[in-house]
Structure 1
């Protein structure tokens, strides 16, 4: 599901079962990340699918990339893998107005 920046953030703030997923490259992540995000680079192809498939499918995933395209694709892949709740951040990190961190939580 595509959500506007405001809807994505307000839904995330109220969600106690949320996981933030950044699908950008490690190099892009050096520009900053949304605090608490985990990073799985969608450009890893099959490696991305393997990594995502190991995630807890009962969680709600708030997915973003730089502009919103790759994260929309990631949500589609995740839905095909059995994830029921994936939320794409429209406009991506480029339009993000919330908090920014500069280290990824492992």
Structure 2
């Protein structure tokens, strides 16, 4: 897992043709605004979260965020344990995000 600042995260994401943006907040949080092109898998689903993560393509790069960076850090650690080699945590989360939000 790599913790990336907003600037590092944005720059690396823009250069990555194999990127998936993963929002691990609740559905309600997601519905209130999200980074464009994100998919939402709620980390609070516990085993359901793990089951959904296991279905993802391990060859892709995952740019993971939550509200503040805490849950996304946990999600990246879980993903690493499941064999995902490219999971990048957005430090500061969406509350510090200065880019576009849908």
TM-score bracket for the superposition, by shorter chain length: over 0.9
Q: TM-score, normalised by structure 1?
A: 0.94
Deviation, structure 1 residue 30: 2.0
- Residues 14-59 of structure 1 show CA distances to partners (whole Å, capped at 9, x for unaligned) of 1000000000001111221000000000000000000000000000
**More displaced stretch, 22-31 vs 60-69:** 22-31
Q: TM-score, normalised by structure 2?
A: 0.98
Where does structure 1 differ by over 2 angstroms across 4 or more consecutive aligned residues? none
Q: Where in structure 2 are there 5+ consecutive unaligned residues?
A: none
- Residues 42-79 of structure 1 show CA distances to partners (whole Å, capped at 9, x for unaligned) of 00000000000000000000000000000000000000
Report the number of matched residues: 101
